[in-house]
Amino acid sequence: MVLYFSQREIVVPGQLLAKGPYKPGNNVFNVGQNIYSTVVGLAELKNNTINVIPLKRTYVPSPGDLVIGKIINVGVTSWQVDIASPYTAILQASDAFLKPIDVTKEDLRKYFDVGDYIIAKVLTFDRTRDPLLTVKEAGCGRIDKGVVVEINPSKVPRIIGRKGSMISLIKSKLNVEIVVGKNGRIWVYSKNPKAEEFTVRIIKKIEREAHISGLTNRIKKMLEEVRLSE
């Protein structure tokens, strides 16, 4: 058994990572007992399994995902929504309202217009048709305050942290509301504009330094040292 990388080393597609009876995990492929990377990312060995964590990743929708979308077109019965993916999502009027409306008499722009951001859930997606969204669930709907920041979708798990530890830390220390979309868009709101601004700085720092050990301690230090005034 031979490893050809050090833990969390940056590797490229086609790079030989290991020889021997290792288990291939995410973003790798094996030819016999040779394991190769399929993406640019950080290679790691855990429990005899080799994975590569992508440094850049395109968001691919999955049913149940919470996403933050931007309205890009309004039709007679639906909206087209940019969800930071190669796939344009569709929000049908029937998935936007708790009670049915008569779309022949209503202008959908009254509810969501081009340029509006929404928090939504992915209802269905199977690659043969555009993903369908819903905003009928709790916490979903139009964003009418705060800011939306975009990060690489591959860094979303690091923003959230293990069992939500990182996002909970930021919320409690800065007294901000945060919604993290699986598609790499994050909504931040606070009555204190400086808290909003500092939260965005924290999020961007996590995105930049997600692959560097000791990140949690650095974030804790920043949060302990910050002094925000209204």
Q: Concatenated DSSP letters for 136-156?
A: -STT-EE--SSEEEE--GGGH
Q: Based on the fold, state whether residues 155 and 138 are members of the same structural domain.
A: no
For 150, the token pair is 């975009």
For the beta sheet containing 177-180, the strands, ordered from the edge strand earlier in sequence to the opposite edge, are: 147-150, 185-189, 177-180
Terminus-to-terminus CA distance in the chain, angstroms?
59
CATH number at residue 48: 2.40.50.100
Closest CA to 93 of 85, 84, 102: 102
What span, in angstroms and rounded, lies between the C-alpha atoms of 44 and 199?
Answer: 30
228 and 192 in contact (C-beta within 8 Å)? yes
For 31, the token pair is 């030819």
Q: Which of 123, 142, 161 is the last residue of a domain?
A: 142
A 10 A CB-CB count for 176 gives 20
The answer to whether the predicted template modeling score (pTM) of the entire model surpasses 0.85 is no
Residue 4 buriedness (CB in 10 A; 0-12 / 13-18 / 19+)? middle
- Residue 57: per-residue pLDDT: 67
Q: Is residue 168 part of a domain?
A: yes
Q: Is residue 61 part of a domain?
A: no
Q: Based on the fold, state whether residues 137 and 151 are members of the same structural domain.
A: no
CATH number at residue 124: 2.40.50.140
What are residue 43's DSSP bridge partners? 9, 52
CATH number at residue 182: 3.30.1370.10
What span, in angstroms and rounded, lies between the C-alpha atoms of 67 and 140?
Answer: 9
Q: Tens of pLDDT along the chain (230 residues)?
A: 899 999 888 898 999 999 999 999 989 999 999 999 998 888 999 999 999 987 766 788 999 999 999 999 999 999 999 999 878 999 999 999 988 888 888 889 999 999 999 999 999 998 678 899 999 999 999 999 999 999 999 899 999 998 999 999 999 999 999 999 999 999 999 999 999 999 999 999 999 998 788 888 999 998 988 877 65
What span, in angstroms and rounded, lies between the C-alpha atoms of 99 and 108?
Answer: 14
Q: Based on the fold, state whether residues 73 and 136 are members of the same structural domain.
A: yes
Q: Based on the fold, state whether residues 43 and 105 are members of the same structural domain.
A: no
The amino acid present at 55, given as its one-letter code, is L
Q: Is residue 79 part of a domain?
A: yes
Q: Is residue 60 part of a domain?
A: no
Q: Based on the fold, state whether residues 124 and 156 are members of the same structural domain.
A: no
Q: Based on the fold, state whether residues 121 and 157 are members of the same structural domain.
A: no
Q: Which of 142, 174, 201 is the last residue of a domain?
A: 142
Q: Based on the fold, state whether residues 178 and 136 are members of the same structural domain.
A: no
Q: Residue 88's domain spans which residues?
A: 66-142
The total number of structural domains in the chain stands at: 3
What span, in angstroms and rounded, lies between the C-alpha atoms of 164 and 75?
Answer: 38
